[in-house]
């Protein structure tokens, strides 16, 4: 049932319309969760059968679903990067002159730190060339 309440705002009376069952209300083909009209308005609202979902709860569920999906993508990307690195690692000494190894080493250390934190790898699964640096960073993060 559509409920009508008289409300006063700054000395002016308005009519507040809403569904007592939490449904949308409708006027002239437009749905509203609630409506406020001037006191002399002739608008008539009818109750729909469409339930108004709590916006906060709906948004929270969507955010949680998005976060889960993004975490899965991040994990997949990390695992793929690790797999590619493991295939390319034997070739690194041959290409050492063409890339800045210092910069790429720190990125790989960061990758393995994140993978250990996420439970995608254990410290024993980290390549030996990065293991000590990863251990040091993880120890600092635990402080």
Could you read off the pLDDT of 112-142 as tens digits, one per residue? 999 999 999 999 999 988 999 999 999 988 8
Looking at residue 98, what is its pLDDT? Answer: 47
Looking at residue 54, what is its pLDDT? Answer: 67
Burial class of 13 by CB neighbour count within 10 A (0 to 12, 13 to 18, 19+): exposed
Q: CA-CA distances (angstroms) from residue 18 to 1, 3, 7, 21?
A: 8, 5, 13, 9
Looking at residue 93, what is its pLDDT? Answer: 63
Q: Closest by alpha carbon to 84, among 104, 102, 114, 98?
A: 104
Contact, 111 vs 79, CB < 8 A? no
Contact, 47 vs 21, CB < 8 A? yes
- Distance of alpha carbon 116 from alpha carbon 73, whole angstroms: 16
- Residue 27 β-bridge partners: 30
Contact, 121 vs 82, CB < 8 A? yes
| Least trusted range by pLDDT, from 27-31, 55-59, 76-80 | 55-59
Looking at residue 85, what is its pLDDT? Answer: 86
Looking at residue 99, what is its pLDDT? Answer: 46
């Amino acid at each position: 049932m559509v409920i009508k309440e008289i409300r006063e705002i700054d000395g002016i009376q308005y009519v507040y319309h809403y569904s007592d069952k939490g449904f949308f209300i409708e006027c002239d083909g437009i749905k509203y969760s609630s409506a406020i009209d001037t006191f002399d308005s002739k608008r008539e609202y009818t109750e729909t059968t469409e339930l108004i979902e709590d916006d906060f709860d709906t948004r929270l569920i969507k955010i949680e679903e998005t976060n889960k999906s993004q975490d899965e993508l991040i994990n997949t990307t990390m695992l793929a990067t690790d797999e590619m690195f493991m295939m390319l690692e034997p070739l690194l000494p041959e290409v050492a002159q063409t890339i800045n190894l210092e910069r790429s080493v720190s990125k790989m250390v960061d990758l393995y730190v994140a993978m250990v934190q996420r439970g995608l790898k254990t410290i024993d699964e980290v390549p030996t060339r990065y293991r000590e640096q990863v251990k040091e960073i993880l120890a600092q993060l635990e402080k």
